[in-house]
Amino acid sequence: MALSLSLATQIGAMFVMIFVGFLLVRKSVLSLRDCNALSRIVLYVSGPCAIINAFQLTISENKVKGFLLAIFVAIGIHILFMAMTALLGRIFHFSPIEKASLIYSNCGNLIIPLVILIMNQKMVFYCSAYMIVQIVLIWTHCKSLISQKQDFDLKAILSNINMIAIGVGVLLFILQIHLPVLITSAFTSMTNLMGPLCMFVAGMLLAGIDLKKAHNKRAYLVVFLRLIVLPFMVALIFIFSGLYKVLPNARSILMISLLAASAPAASTVTQFAQIYDHQPFEASVINVLSLLLCIITMPLLNMFYMSLT
């Protein structure tokens, strides 16, 4: 219960930051063009620093098993989401953007700061497992889904900045190379920028959307499935399979996986929609609505999982 309340508090604090970002644009202190610079700081500085720092651990059998569990669970979640999207698509006839929004979540920019705040920096180690699986699928399945072209972009996967950071982190972890305190301290400070900057960008983007046009039933349907139905299925599987008992820290690892699975729609979906000119407004609406409503759904799902495990 305490962890769920902490999660709700931290998400609430993030929404205060979103409101600040919203005001910065509405009061003309910043413009929408400034979002690009802030996003690049998160993408190329804060995110990689958080990931590399998370791998600065003493290697142990339990940590390796925990990481492999997180990988296995992430693969399972994506298979489940793809299968359910295909099944529900027979009823609701989802567009490619809607399918991608259902399957892929904002497991990096939102979840990493949350995990640091409600757990600790080192637990980002397990966040990266979910990110590995999603990055590979984003640049293969998701890209093909939206572009309507079947291609495998290996270069995009390997050159992804988060994948590079994970590769560096894994190498340091395996070789047990511990960075100097000067470096880890600087990385920690840059990591701390991640949460506020991400929320400022979200608020700034929200300020640029006509909220009157954002109300459509399809978007609410997709958001309902993304934030409630699909992650609730994941929580039930975690609870009734007994998977949370397989390792001493499995309960916490699965909680991180559940947070990633219940996060808002991935911002990458919106970016692909803009690149390929495929329903960019619809993608933005789903992204913003899911971000606004997750303040309610994520703590409730977390509370449900924690109370039954």
pLDDT in tens, 204-213: 878 877 767 6
Please give the C-alpha separations between residue 88 and each of 95, 104, 138, 140, 225, in angstroms, as whole numbers. 12, 16, 21, 22, 10
Q: Where are the beta strands (DSSP E) in 11-77?
A: none
State the pLDDT at residue 1.
Answer: 60
Residue 73: name the closest of 299, 309, 243, 302 by CA. Answer: 243
Burial of 139 (0-12, 13-18, 19+ CB in 10 A): buried
The pLDDT mean for the chain works out to 89
Distances (CA, A) of 271 to 135, 143, 241, 284: 14, 10, 36, 9
- Does 5 have pLDDT greater than 80? no
- Give DSSP secondary structure letters for 227-265: IIIHHHHHHHHHHHHTGGGSSTTHHHHHHHHHHHHTSPB
Q: Looking at residue 297, what is its pLDDT? A: 93
Q: Which of the following CATH numbers is that of domain 2-307: 1.10.10, 1.20.1530, 3.40.50, 1.10.3430?
A: 1.20.1530
4 has a pLDDT exceeding 70: no
* Residue 120 confidence class, pLDDT cut points 50, 70, 90: confident
Q: Is the dihedral of CA 207, 212, 217, 220 positive or negative?
A: positive
